[in-house]
Amino acid sequence: MKIYISIFLFLFSNFFYSQNHDSWYEKLIIRDIVFELSDDKFEGRQTGEKGGERAGDYIYNYLNKIFKNHNNVNIYTQDFEFSISKNPHQKSNSGIKKNARNIICFIDNKAEETIIIGAHYDHLGFGAFGSRELNKTNLIHNGADDNASGVAMGISLIDILYDSNKYYNYLFIAFDGEEMGLYGSSFYCKNPTINLKDVRFMLNFDMVGKLNQNKDLAINGVGTSSKWKTLINNSNDNNYFSLKFSESGIGPSDHTSFYLQNIPSIHFFTGQHDDYHKPSDKRNKLNYDGIFDVLCFVESIINSSVSIDDFDFKETKNDSRQTPKFSVTLGVMPDYLYSGKGMRIDGVSKGKTADKFGILKGDVVIKMGSIEVTDMMTYMQGLSEFKKGDETIIKVLRGSEEINITVIFQ
C-alpha cells in the first residue's frame, strides 16, 4: 500500500509544482511574514525583551489565522527560562536570566510518524549581544534573513503540506533563544510535547533568504542518515540547485539539538553575507522568489521520502557531539558554502584580530599554530587552544600561495 501512496504523491507533487511554482498566495505569505517580523516595531526580536515577546505573539496569531477552524491543528506556546554567561558558547546556571517562549503548531493527521520543521525567530535586538557592527549602539538589528526568512518559509511550508501531504503529522516550532545558544531547541528536546521516537526527521531553516544567481544551497547534516543524499539529489530536478553538503549533525543552529536526540536532522542555508548580524540585514535585500524555490524543493523532499521504509539515524564521523569552547576569535565570517579543505573567509570585521594583522576576505585558513584546519570543526578546535594575548602563526592559502601570518589574539 505504501508504494502506491508514494507513487501518487510523487506524481501529485510534480503536478503541484508545475501548476503552482509561481503561487502568488504562498509568496504573499512569505513576504508578509518577513516584512512584519523585520519591522522596527519588534526592535530586533531579542529574547526576553518586549520586541521579542511581540514577535512571538505575531507568529502565534498568524498561525491561528491560517489554521482557523481546522480541528486537527493545535497551536500553543512553550515558556522557559534560562541564564546566560558572558561567553554565549558556555551555558551556565548563573548570570543574566531570560524568559523565552517557543511557538508551536502541531498538525495531527493521525499518522504514524511526525516531521519536525523548525526555524528560530529571535534576533539581536539593538545589537548588544552578537552584533558585527562596530558602531552598534541603539541600532535595531532587524534580522530579515536571520531569521525572519526561515520562519516565513516554515509557516508557508506547513500551510502547503496541510493540504498536499497527509501521510505525516507535522510539528512546526518557531524557536526562541537561538542566538544566545540554541536554548529554545535544547529546551524543547528536553521537554518534548510529542514522543520523539515517532519523529521521522527534522528540517531546520536558518538564513534561507539570499539564494544567489548560481542557486548555491548549503544543506548541513546530510550524514545524520544514510538516506539523505540520495533523497535530496533525486529531488533536485535538473540540478536546479548547486548543492553544498556538510556531513556533521553538529552546527551553529537548532538542528543540532535534535541530532543529539538521535533524530536525522538537516539545516537549509543559502549562505553567509556581509549583512549578517548587522543592522543592514533588511527585508528589501532578500530574494523572495528564492525562498519560494527552496520551499518547493523541501516539499519535494518530503513527498519523495514517503517511499523510504526505514529512515535510519547515523552518528556523523569525527564528531565529538560537543562544539569546542573558545574565548577568542579572529573576527571573520566563515564561508559556509565552501566545500574545499580548510576554512575560507567570507568577511573580515574591521578592527578585529584578522583585520589588524592582514588576513583578508577570500583567504583559506589551513593551519592555526600546530592545528591543521580542514573544516569548520577543526577551525573551532584551533581557536579553543588560545586565549586573549596569545601569539601564534596562522597559515592561509591566498590564491595558490601559502602565507604565514603572525597574530596576537585580542
Count Cβ atoms below 10 Å from residue 155 Cβ, excluding itself: 24
d(CA 407, CA 354): 8
Eight-state DSSP code of residue 122: -
pTM of the model: 0.83
Residues 302 and 354 in one domain: no
Paired sense of beta strands 371-372 and 114-120, if any: unpaired
pLDDT at 226: 97
Distance CA 27, CA 317 (A): 38
Residues 128 and 177 in one domain: yes
Q: Which residue has the higher pLDDT, 7 or 284?
A: 284
Question: 326 lies in a domain?
Answer: no
The highest-confidence range among 6-20, 75-89, 282-296, by mean pLDDT, is 282-296
Q: Which residue has the higher pLDDT, 78 or 332?
A: 78
Say if CB 128 and CB 86 are below 8 A apart: no
pLDDT value of position 336? 74
How far lies 91's CA from each of 87, 96, 256, 333, in Å?
Answer: 8, 11, 15, 23
CA distance 203 to 300: 13
The CATH number of the domain holding residue 164 is 3.40.630.10
My answer on whether 196 and 119 are in the same domain is: yes
The larger pLDDT score, comparing residue 19 to residue 172, is at: 172
Q: Quote the cell numbers at residue 15.
A: 503536478
Report how many domains make up the chain.
2
- Could you tell me the residue range of the domain that residue 186 belongs to? 2-307
Poorest-pLDDT segment among 116-125, 319-328, 401-410: 319-328
| 387/42 Cα distance (integer angstroms) | 36
Q: Could you tell me the CATH number of the domain that includes residue 352?
A: 2.30.42.10
Beta-carbon contacts of 215 under 8 Å, excluding residues fewer than 6 positions away, are 240, 241, 242, 293
Same domain, 297 and 342: no
Q: Is residue 322 part of a domain?
A: no
Q: CB count, 10 Å around CB of 359?
A: 23
In a domain, 22, yes or no: yes
Task: Decide: helix, strand or coil at residue 155.
Answer: helix
Percent over 70 (pLDDT), the chain: 90
Structure-model confidence comparison of residues 22 and 239, the more confident one: 239
pLDDT at 319 over 70: no
Residue 321 lies in a domain: no
Pairing of strands 199-205, 265-269: parallel
Domain-embedded: residue 384: yes
Does 324 or 224 have the greater pLDDT score?
224
Torsion, Cα 395 398 401 405, to 10 degrees, reads -30
Residue 382 buriedness (CB in 10 A; 0-12 / 13-18 / 19+): buried
Residue 14, helix vs strand vs coil: helix
In which band, very low, low, confident or very high, does the pLDDT at 305 lie, cut at 50, 70 and 90?
very high
Tell which of 291, 307, 323 closes a domain: 307
Q: Cβ contacts of residue 197 below 8 Å, gap of 6+?
A: none
Q: Is residue 244 part of a domain?
A: yes
Which of 307, 323, 358 is at the close of a domain? 307
SS3 content of the chain, % helix, strand, coil (to 5): 35, 25, 40
pLDDT of residue 10: 39
Q: Report if residue 318 sits inside a domain.
A: no
What's residue 12's pLDDT? 40
Tell whether 282 and 149 lie within a shared domain.
yes
Together in a domain, 289 and 374: no
Q: What is the pLDDT of residues 187-202, one digit of tens each?
A: 999 999 999 999 999 9
Domain boundary among 274, 307, 340: 307
Residue 86, pLDDT > 60, answer no
Q: Are residues 275 and 357 in the same domain?
A: no
DSSP string, 346-380: EEE-TTSHHHHTT--TT-EEEEETTEE--SHHHHH
**DSSP structural state of residue 48:** T
Q: Are residues 276 and 229 in the same domain?
A: yes
pLDDT at 324: 66
Do 286 and 352 reside in the same domain of the chain?
A: no
Reply yes or no on whether the pLDDT at 294 is more than 90: yes
| Domain assignment of residue 151, yes or no | yes
In this prediction, residue 16 carries a pLDDT of 39
Please state, in angstroms and rounded to a whole number, the distance separating the CA atoms of residues 53 and 97. Answer: 15
Write the pLDDT tens digit of every residue in 357-399. Answer: 999 989 999 999 999 998 877 888 889 889 999 999 999 999 9
pLDDT at 238: 93
**Pair 285, 392 in one domain:** no
- Whole-number Cα distances in Å, 68 to 62, 71, 151, 236: 10, 8, 19, 34
Q: Of 306, 3, 1, 33, which Cα lies nearest the Cα of 161?
A: 306
